[in-house]
Amino acid sequence: MKKNIQIYFCLFLLSFILFACGEQENPPKEIQIFGIWSKVKQQFIRINNNKIIEDTVTYTSINDSSDLELFNDSTYRIKFYTFKDSGIFQGKYYRNKPSITFIPLDSPTNTDVYQELRLSETELWLKKTDPDNTNPNRIEIIQYFVKK
């Protein structure tokens, strides 16, 4: 009888150990923001007395595109191509979740702060309030897709 109790006790402990030690959950992988992001949509919304009075959506086409390149050393480059023009803007960026501050090299006092609305392996959505610094009720939303 005493031997049976010891066996049952050992089985109880063994089952407790086996079932208590499950797979450890891995923390979610942090999505890297570095890479080349192609702008697919830009939207301007103006609100007055909680009513939308302007909602302009611009989709980029082959003749009008913009790529945002974010590098590991906190520098960025924006390449844009339009039907009439093209160019490159460069500078530094600082990421303090959930916002990104862009500081252009040619005009370091003219910073832009964007809020990260969405970040996944394939999408980056940024939002900026008052993009032209003249209308506090104007919001800009830019949608990017990762460029392969």
Dist. CA 127–CA 123, nearest whole Å: 13
Each residue of 82-141: pLDDT tens digit? 777 788 999 999 998 889 999 999 988 888 898 998 988 899 989 887 656 666 677 888
Half-sphere exposure of residue 87: CA atoms within 13 angstroms, side-chain side: 4
Dist. CA 101–CA 110, nearest whole Å: 11
For the chain, give the percent of residues with pLDDT over 90: 17
Each residue of 111-120: pLDDT tens digit? 889 899 898 8
Q: What is the pTM of this model?
A: 0.68
End-to-end Cα, the chain, rounded Å: 71
Dist. CA 148–CA 146, nearest whole Å: 6
